[in-house]
Amino acid sequence: MKIDKTGAERIESMAAGKAQQARSEKDRVEGNAPERAHLTDQAALSERAYLLSKAHASLNSSSDTRTDLVASLRSKIRSGEYEIPYRKLAEILAKYLKL
């Protein structure tokens, strides 16, 4: 059986190439690559994106929950006083389902 020396050399060469590629990728990700040394990452928002961001933050900070109604319903449910308005519920569902 013969050992193919050129095959072993090709494997070593490929391994060295892969190692160099991995080091280059690591440098690129970490920002150590020479071609990226003078660059910095930047991001900018358009005026529309800025306004949408402010509107979203405003909506998240305000509460449209009627806490007094929630507390009243919670109390009635716990005490067993709350009765489900079946007819009204059926009308709403019928409109929603377009029956």
Q: Judge whether 58 lies within some domain.
A: no
Q: Judge whether 70 lies within some domain.
A: yes
The whole-angstrom separation of Cα 87 and Cα 92 is 9
Contact 33, 27 (CB under 8 A): yes
Per the structure block, which two tokens stand in for 50?
């800025």
The whole-angstrom separation of Cα 6 and Cα 68 is 83
Query: Domain of 14?
Result: 1-38
Q: Judge whether 75 lies within some domain.
A: yes
Q: Judge whether 55 lies within some domain.
A: no
Instruction: Count up the domains in the chain and report the number.
Output: 2
Q: What does the pLDDT read at residue 88?
A: 94
pLDDT tens digits, one per residue of 7-24: 555 556 556 666 666 666
Q: Judge whether 53 lies within some domain.
A: no
The whole-angstrom separation of Cα 6 and Cα 32 is 35
pTM over 0.75: no
Q: Judge whether 24 lies within some domain.
A: yes
Q: Judge whether 49 lies within some domain.
A: no
